Amino acid sequence: MKGFAMKKIGEVGWVEKDKPDIGAYDALVRPIALAPCTSDIHTVWEGAVGERTDMILGHEALGVVDEVGSEVKDFKPGDKVIVPAITPDWYSDAALRGFSSQTGGALGGWKFSNFKDGVFGEYFHVNVADWNLAHLPEGMPLEAAVMIPDMLTTGFMGAENSNIPLGGSVAVLGIGPVGLSAIAGAELQGAGRIFAVGTRPKCVEVAKAYGATDIVSYKDGNTADQIVEATGGEGVDSVVVAGGGPDILIDAINAARAGSVVSNINYFGTGDTLPIPREGWGVGMADINIATGLCPGGRVRMERLADIVKYGRMDPALMATHVFHGFDKVEEALMLMKDKPRDLIKPVVIVDENL
């Protein structure tokens, strides 16, 4: 089979590999729809998780089950599935403690395109299929459903972790597909006022559609100052960090008021340390907490997110600005994600709508 891979740090290309073997609880899946992620860009071009050789990229997929292990009960060949980006080892200490994304060590639930070949292959392996796959609801548009495995689960987690009070104010720093999903999550959680920070016009348009009440450009002056001023000198109840470089926590904390949670979902690809503003953080005593998380995976999470889409609570297809057809287009889609043209939110590849 062929796959599109990270050949080494800074280099991508097509590779030929054997189809993966599966164990008794696993599944072999073929992709129906795929999407590249900004995390793939950090992984390849920043070498953010270290060297990887000929590792097939990608962790956002819908698929069709090709083969299942002898102990798999709820899935059979031909079933269409949502494949979460994060596929934890559910029978582990970390999962039992409630942190399934961190099973087997920090970020250990993130297996595709990190510890094993990802989903940009003609076939890919899914561990513990009954717990990690979800059935794709019939008739759900693929451009919408393919946002569930990573964009929705990550953005919604950002909003959930930021503890937004009903009617409270929230600032979402970064409105790429992850931040936009956080805005939709904040809206679903009952935020009163939602600040969206970013500049790409298409992202701004969708931010408004998802519930943003105020648009802030980080290019028009200090982000925190703009938010503090707009809130009468107070700052916001919650902050979600979904973009920006290593200094972004300075803006996030300076925009937060006492009691706020700064919920980071950004992947910091470079640098050894991240600065926190001493004064803005009340010289360490501001009652401003910082939350972090790798997006939740697993079956139940995917089923709940699918219900949000199925019952029309939000439409993730608004983020699919560039839709390609055919497996080979994965390369073009990934390069688009790297280059981030101004009209891009998220590229999607429909591999085969007839599968």
Residue placing its CB nearer to ligand NDP in the complex, 33 or 72: 33
**Looking only at residues 281 through 340 of this chain, which bind Zn ion when binding is defined by CB under 5 A?**
none
Q: Which long-range contacts (CB under 8 A, 24 or more apart) does 194-197 make?
A: 194/169, 194/170, 195/169, 195/170, 195/171, 195/227, 195/230, 195/236, 196/172, 197/171, 197/172, 197/173, 197/223, 197/227, 197/243
Task: List CB contacts of 58: < 8 A, sequence separation 6 or more.
Answer: 4, 34, 36, 37, 40, 112, 113, 118, 119, 120, 121, 330
Q: According to CB under 6 A, which one of 22, 56, 148, 295 is a site residue for ligand NDP?
A: 295
> Least Å distance between CB 311 and ligand NDP?
24
Q: Which range of residues in 26-34, 111-119, 167-175, 281-289 is near ligand NDP by CB under 6 A?
A: 167-175
CA distances to 108, 119, 163 from 320, rounded to whole Å, are 28, 19, 28
Taken in order 343, 349, 354, 355, the sign of the CA dihedral is negative
Q: Which range of residues in 87-95, 114-122, 225-233, 238-246 is near ligand NDP by CB under 6 A?
A: 238-246
> Least Å distance between CB 252 and ligand NDP?
9
Residue placing its CB nearer to ligand NDP in the complex, 295 or 317: 295
Binding mask 145-164 for Zn ion (x = CB under 5 A): -----x--------------
Task: List CB contacts of 335: < 8 A, sequence separation 6 or more.
Answer: none
> Least Å distance between CB 41 and ligand NDP?
7
Q: Are 151 and 174 in contact (CB under 8 A)?
A: no
Binding mask 117-156 for ligand NDP (x = CB under 6 A): ---------------------------------x---x--
**Looking only at residues 93 through 122 of this chain, which bind ligand NDP when binding is defined by CB under 6 A?**
none
Rule CB under 6 A: say whether 39 interacts with ligand NDP.
yes
Pairing of strands 256-264, 236-241: parallel
If we measure between CA atoms, which residue out of 328, 333, 349, 283 comes closest to residue 2?
A: 328
Total residues binding Zn ion (CB under 5 A) = 3
Pairing of strands 193-197, 80-83: unpaired
Rule CB under 6 A: say whether 159 interacts with ligand NDP.
no
Q: According to CB under 6 A, which one of 81, 140, 212, 294 is a site residue for ligand NDP?
A: 294
Q: Which residues of the shown chain bind ligand NDP in the complex (CB under 6 A)?
A: 37-39, 42, 150, 154, 173-179, 197-200, 203, 218, 223, 242-244, 248, 265-267, 294-295, 340
